[in-house]
Every structure is written in C-alpha cells, then in structure tokens.
Amino acid sequence: MEDCIFCKIASGEIQGLRIYENDETLAFMDIAGDVDGHILVIPKKHCKNILDCDSETLSAVANTVKMVSDHLTKNCGYDGVNILNASDESAGQSVPHFHIHIIPRKRDDGIDAWPIFEGAKEDIQTVFDKVKM
Ligand code: AMP
Ligand code: ZN
C-alpha cells in the first residue's frame, strides 16, 4: 500500500534491521529504543490490524511470532517474551499496518510491560452478557 511505512520496510524501500523473514512475514527491530530487544512482526501483505486480516495471514504472523520467540529464548539468553498488539486507534495503534510487538524478557529485568488498569466500570456479569458468543 502506498504511503505505508511498514509496506515500505517489507519491500526494502525503507531500511529496517531484518531479523527473520519468509514469503509472508517479516520480523525487524522496532526503532523506539524504549526497551531492549523490541521486535515487530508484520505480514508483508498490507492489512491494517487483526480486525482487517484474513486467517491465512494471521496464521503466518502467529507462526513467525512463535519462531522468533523460540529463537530469543533458546539461543539469545532470554527467559520469556511479552506479545503485544494494538488493533485500531481506540486501542492505541499508531502505525496502520498490522504488527505484533515482541518484548524479550529476562527474570528480574524490572521491565513493566503490563498496563496497570484503573478498575472496571461495569460488573463482570454485565460485560459477560454483552460479549458471550
Ligand atoms: P503501535 O503504537 O502499536 O502502532 O506501534 C508502532 C510501533 O512502530 C512503535 O513501537 C514504533 O516505534 C514503531 N515504528 C514506527 N516507525 C518505525 C520504523 N521506521 N522502523 C521500526 N519501527 C517503527
Ligand atoms: Zn502497509
């Protein structure tokens, strides 16, 4: 897609630090510099987010997330990973090309990668009645 920064990284038009790629997906370093080892996994085919993503593409992205996570923990000295995604601006998505964040973790690294929520406004049963499928 024209004017999509992650499409340009996928095609090589914009440089990225490419950790792993296959026909469908690419894993590369996030440039935020906010936490050590911040990695993004994207589909090479443009889709905005998980709500806009076909199951084949989603499955390819999930498999690459798993492969990179296994590599980080088996070969790179990490103990675990946080897997994060924002789908839609309402959820905090800032780049409108589907991406999964991988944050490699070490025991006692002191990283706070989990949001501290401020308390639910609706009771659990009310939300359950609304969302049950
Ligand atoms: P999100 O807020 O979930 O949409 O995350 C977007 C992420 O893309 C942020 O962590 C940015 O640091 C990252 N980002 C934006 N531009 C680039 C780029 N050119 N190369 C690598 N990461 C990028
Ligand atoms: Zn794109």
What pLDDT digit, counting tens, does each position of 8-48 carry? 999 999 999 999 999 999 999 999 999 999 999 999 999 99
Can you give the pTM of this predicted structure? Answer: 0.97
The domain spans of the chain are 5-131
Residue 32, ligand 1, Cβ within 6 A = yes
Residues carrying an active site annotation: 99
The pLDDT value given to residue 20? 98
Closest C-alpha among 3, 2, 7, 21 to residue 98: 7
Closest C-alpha among 95, 87, 104, 93 to residue 49: 87
Tokens of residue 118, six digits = 């401020």
Q: Which atom of ligand 1 is nearest to the CA of 28?
A: 21
> Which CATH architecture does the domain made up of 5-131 adopt?
2-Layer Sandwich (3.30)
Q: Given a cut of 90, is residue 87 above it in pLDDT?
A: yes
For atom 16 of ligand 1, the residue with the nearest CA is: 31
| Cα 45 to middle of ligand 2, angstroms | 7
For 104-117, the pLDDT digits (tens) are 999 999 999 998 99
